[in-house]
Amino acid sequence: MEILLHKNQFPTGSRKSIQFVWDFGKLKIRTYAQHITVSDGDIYERDGAHFITPRSLNRFDKPAEIEIPTTVLEQMDVLNINLKNSRESIGHADHKAGKIFLSMNADGQIVAKHGQKTAVSDLEIIENKNAINIESLGLDCLYIEVPSTVETAYTKAKNIKTMESCHLIYAGKSLLTRKEYFKFNNDIPASSWDCVEDFFENFGSGSGRTGELKGWLTNQPGKVEATLGLKTTEGKREHDDIKRFEDAITLIKNNQ
């Protein structure tokens, strides 16, 4: 996509016509004689102004240097920042000040970029909409609604983050069967719960009796961990070690 940044006062196509064009991060200068793609190293500064000298078309050609207007360089900076933000984004929100580009960071938060300003936020429900706080962008609104693609990416990232720290912890021993039960250390995503729900029993809210089990618990921790790819936690290993020690003591006493 090309954007015309500036043209001099001479008619397009005439011998003295010069056009400055932005083309996906590149500055192009079009003269009557040639079209020039400008590299950063081609631009030099003198007395606060910026110039390039076009290459010679032949040994007799001595092209005059071309001054690049300051407004062209300023527009290039803005367009290149927006291009970079766009390429890194997973979606955008429209605003009268221009597009706000949205991406995700390593912590699973949504990053909003407008020009060189950045806002980092978790997803919130504002007026029944999925939104993020963009106060640090300095615009005239504190929140913007995020598109569904960004919401989906945010939820997926949060679920992954949750499962990275997820493990089973010892919940206690049944007063009725003496079976040992375990529970998750925190809430897990619905998609993960669907995979292991059959391994759990619902003990309800309990009666308040000391030692009574309550909530969703499993006595099949190995199957749950294998299904979800969870690591056996240190707490569970410690509990298992204690149990093996207690069983060994019991066996010794029974053999005496």
Q: Return left, alpha or beta for 13; rule: phi > 0 is left, psi -120 to 50 is alpha, else beta.
A: left
**Cα separation, 19 vs 37, whole angstroms:** 12
* Residue 116 Cα to chain centre, angstroms: 17
Average pLDDT over residues 23-50: 91
Q: What is the pLDDT of residues 73-90, one digit of tens each?
A: 999 999 999 899 888 899
Of 177, 185, 228, residue with least CA distance to 203: 177
Higher pLDDT, 169 or 60: 169
Residue owning tokens 């690591």: 231
In the β-sheet with 180-184, what is the strand arrangement from edge to edge? 168-173, 180-184, 216-218, 200-202
Contacts with 7 (C-beta within 8 Å, 6 or more apart), sequence order:
17, 18, 19, 20
pLDDT at 59: 64
pLDDT at 168: 94
Q: What is the pLDDT of residues 129-188, one digit of tens each?
A: 999 999 999 999 999 999 999 999 999 888 888 898 899 999 999 999 999 999 999 999
Of 164, 156, 160, 155, residue with least CA distance to 230: 164
Average pLDDT over residues 194-213: 90
User: Domain residue spans in the chain?
Assistant: 2-76, 89-161, 168-255
| Number of Cβ within a 10 Å radius of residue 90 | 16
- pTM, whole model, 2 decimals? 0.65
